[in-house]
Amino acid sequence: MSSVWSEKILQLLRRMNNFNLPGSGRAACFRFEISGAQVGWIPPHVAALLAQHPQVFSPPHGGAVALHPGLDTHQRRSEAVEALLQSLREEEQLTCLAGWRDEKYNVMSRFSEPPLMCMERAATSLFGVKRYGVHVNGYTVGAGGDVSMWLARRSKTKQTYPGLLDNVAAGGLAAGLGIKHTLIKECQEEACIPADLAAAARPVATVSYTYEDEEGVFPESQFVFDLQLPLGFRPRVGDGEVQDFYLLPIEKVKDLLATDDFKPNSAMVVLDFLIRHSFIEPDSEPCYQELVTGLHHTL
């Protein structure tokens, strides 16, 4: 495997984990706490805005911003923060709120813990709240054992990463929905994969990373599934989030990972597939350990 390919992939992993790198904004961020539990990271400019609303957020103290202690239930927290976010959205001070989706994400200290509140998806980066999603590697195995992968081309009208290559199906884990339910729903909606076929997908890994950009902090973890599709099956465009599907040899997919044509986190999911299925091996890839580590950074 070429050193150019390896360096491109390492650049991708550094970019998707830049919150953990020296010189990142992490040291300046405030911990976001609810009832003493940390649930996120709040950038300084956001903390300054929240300090103007003491009925919802207590003033920054000891490196942390906390919800007002009077907001002591899931419903009260969710409703108070929603009302404030709607107000900030109308003031147009925070660009990420222009992408409001009317989709709620759970806020919790760990995935295994009960949610402490829910929050509009578009606002989660303001609070560095961990977001979860489901990604599906759709692949085929030919009579001779050759592996090919189905990739989606995102619609040019998508809010994020328009026109880039993606997994055959993927979606965020909305509040109140289970992982397998989300998988089946996304497979049906995006790729017209029937529920009985989608249900055969196997949970195989999680891919985790944290990056920051001008819109905030993005700690994310994707539940990864492998789905072997029948040779005669072809995904079809469903809800319009995808413009086309391609079945490509696995070596071609590997080459595409090192281009700018891939949605970054989906490229990480495919990289994980290549490692798990031994298309990338430690004897031939000198950066093997760095690649594995870069897929599993958690805060």
Strands, E, within the chain: which ranges? 30-34, 37-42, 64-66, 104-107, 117-120, 131-141, 147-154, 165-166, 169-172, 202-213, 216-228, 242-249
Buried b (16+ CB within 10 A) or exposed e, 26-36: beebbbbbbee
Distance CA 36, CA 144 (A): 57
Q: What is the pTM of this model?
A: 0.95
Q: Find, among 275, 267, 257, 228, the residue nearest to 8 by Cα.
A: 257
Distance CA 196, CA 22 (A): 47
Q: What is the pLDDT along the chain (299 residues), one digit of tens a residue?
A: 579 999 999 999 999 999 999 999 999 999 999 999 999 999 999 999 999 999 999 989 999 999 999 999 999 999 999 999 999 999 988 999 999 999 999 999 999 999 999 999 999 999 999 999 999 999 999 999 999 999 999 999 988 899 999 999 999 999 999 999 999 999 999 999 999 999 999 999 999 999 999 999 999 999 999 999 999 999 999 888 899 999 999 999 999 999 999 999 999 999 999 999 999 999 999 999 999 999 999 87
SS3 state at 57? strand
Distance CA 251, CA 255 (A): 6
Contact 67, 76 (CB under 8 A): no
Joined together, the tokens standing for residue 242 give 């995808």
Which are the contacts of 214, defined by CB distance < 8 A and separation ≥ 6? Answer: 95
SS3 state at 229? coil
Q: Domain residues of the chain, as ranges?
A: 3-19+131-294, 26-127
Question: Is 26-127 assigned to CATH 3.40.30.10?
Answer: no
SS3 state at 111? coil
Q: What confidence tens digit (pLDDT) does each residue in 48-81 have?
A: 999 999 999 998 999 999 999 999 999 999 999 9
Distance CA 129, CA 140 (A): 36
**Same-fold call for 3-19+131-294 versus 26-127:** no
pLDDT of residue 1: 53
Distance CA 152, CA 157 (A): 14
Name the CATH superfamily for 3-19+131-294. Answer: Nucleoside Triphosphate Pyrophosphohydrolase (3.90.79.10)
